[in-house]
A and B are shown apart, each in its own frame.
Chain A
């Protein structure tokens, strides 16, 4: 906005009312603004820049746009996680590029790889050390349910969700970086409070009908 219209500072209450006048809605409506899709909206009533949102949604919005994952590579999937953070896929575009080397500074744990009996207690401890709010992505079929080591895998925990709660499952062995990005976006949806979306691709239906009984 043009700089010359900048007036004296107003208190928030006043600003709020002014905004109400400006967009012609009532206060209640404004408060309920941004619960689902739009967490926050920026309006510029004449002078000051005002962000209107519920505090909770605003926080969520902040959380989802700067997820700090923990540098936590367990097995082969970690290499794909590295690729996702690397030059070509660039996790940073989604605000999740600040890989932290300590659980105390991170809010997302990407369990990338096979969790073994020896490692499971460590995974749990690392999870407990992360400050709230925290999220978990189970990356790869090993973390989801034992993957290729399901049978005869005497030392493999068949799914990290038996140890810690998981928010998003990213399937594949290993999942391509694109799939991890998709998983990250679904996690962002979840943080936003959006309902989960299950879209079955059309080809699956086609495929199912073609399977002989």
Chain B
């Protein structure tokens, strides 16, 4: 099964809810994986369809993307990641306005095809249906995406942060994330405690 066939099948079933496909635009319609952008509300159905009718039995990877600052013209620039000021406080950043996206990479053991399904959402309302019911492995991958981008997966049974502590503020992989310098009583930056020199001095300190 070629990527073109997969896409043709998708377009037949879902019509204009299939938004665009990266490979066609760039004239590389035989290259796996092909990225197919779908409407957000169709995402779960598309995934189900791909699993049941097209034989994509493995979900490889779920990645979030923050399109803030993405240069469509292809000139590209060095994106400044927010930093610290001289006094150690994080540089304030203004909130971004770019879209967020989720990309699912699928693979089929039956015919060896790979395809990427993407859904783009507004930054103000980052809600995507969960595909945890389709592939259980998505449960953790979606938690990670939520952790990093704040994209909420509707219908996820257990949407918690997975890598960062549960009360962490902000979503670090968003481009407008401000670097913290403290987490509760844990200093992330700063000067060391008094440096010990010899055991005797330490004992004196304690008394």
Contact = CB atoms under 8 A, between A and B. Distances in A.
A131 interface: no
Interface residues of A, number: 26
B194 interface: yes
Which label, helix, strand, loop or mixed, suits the secondary structure of the A interface?
A: loop
Interface residues of B, number: 28
A92 interface: no
Contacts, number: 62
Interface stretch (B64-72, B129-137, B185-193): B185-193
Nearest to B84: A151
Given A118-B164, A154-B177, A165 B195 contact: yes
Which label, helix, strand, loop or mixed, suits the secondary structure of the B interface?
A: loop
Contact of A190 (B172, B180, B189, B198): B198
A164 interface: yes
B188 A190 contact: no
Given A117-B165, A118-B165, A158 B197 contact: no
Most chain A CB within a 10 A radius of its CB, from B81, B83, B163, B196: B196
Nearest to A132: B206
Given A117-B168, A117-B183, A162-B192, 12 more contacts: A120-B183, A121-B185, A154-B172, A154-B179, A154-B188, A157-B187, A158-B190, A161-B193, A162-B191, A167-B196, A190-B199, A193-B198
